[in-house]
Amino acid sequence: MPPPPVHFFLGRTVSAREQPGRSSPLPLLGLQARGGHAFTEPPATAMLLVPPETLVSAVARRLADPAWSALDLVGEMSRVDRPCAITLAPLATEDAEGLAHALAARYALPRIPVDVTAPALASLCERTLVRVEGVYAHARSWVNAKNFEGVVALSASGLVLRDGARLRVIGFLEPADPRPAFGPPLVLGYAGPKLNAIHVEEIG
């Protein structure tokens, strides 16, 4: 049996630890209420799970009562079916500020996007936070799902994108899934590079 996860932050109202992912070898960041405390945001949340590899920023924000604060998290959260911006609140102010500092130190936050051209997306070999401009063309099937400049598959959860729109996108470029040299593909459907959006702006 593996050892229990080790907390890297223990506050009066919240703790933080990494724990095994649900369906991925990558760990999840668990932010859990402690000491009898209860979060009101997100509603009905005793432990908030966040993918640390796509976390972009974690900022403490004081509430009306200065003894209490919120922790505002921004990142690409599709792995846990959450929106890109999440507020965890309330937290004791010293906890929110200490946790924001601990997350920044552990995950090198805030992450700054790299400006790239659309054609360069396909050449990136590792997960990269990028800012890029290009034209979105609705994909008709998984066979040809490269809907952003014909280079990558753009995913923007919760947004309706207009066919033919020129967009400015900030998000994580995920390289193509590895395929075996011989034999059938490992998975059916699209396995090329993906651009998982955090922010999308139509620019013309």
CATH architecture of 114-202: Beta Barrel (2.40)
pLDDT tier, 158 (very low <50, low <70, confident <90, very high otherwise) = confident
Q: Which pLDDT belongs to residue 18?
A: 96
Residue 72 pLDDT: 98
Domain with CATH 2.30.29 in the chain: 7-107
Higher-pLDDT residue of 85 and 204 is 85
- The residues of the chain that CATH labels 2.40.50 are 114-202
Mean of all residue pLDDT scores within the chain: 90
For residue 186, what pLDDT band results from cuts at 50, 70 and 90?
very low
Beta strands in the chain (DSSP E): 7-10, 14-19, 28-33, 47-50, 55-62, 68-75, 85-92, 114-115, 128-135, 153-155, 166-174, 194-202
Residue 182 has a pLDDT of: 47
**Share in percent of the chain as helix, strand, coil (round to 5):** 15, 40, 45
pLDDT band at residue 48 under the 50/70/90 scheme: very high
**What is the structure's pLDDT at 3?**
63
Report residue 138's pLDDT band, with 50, 70 and 90 as the boundaries: confident
Of the pLDDT bands very low, low, confident and very high (cuts 50, 70, 90), residue 2 is low
Lowest mean pLDDT among 46-50, 52-56, 89-93, 178-182: 178-182
Is CATH 1.10.20 the right assignment for the domain spanning 7-107?
Answer: no
Q: What is the DSSP letter of 129?
A: E
Instruction: Answer yes or no: is pLDDT of 189 > 60.
Output: yes
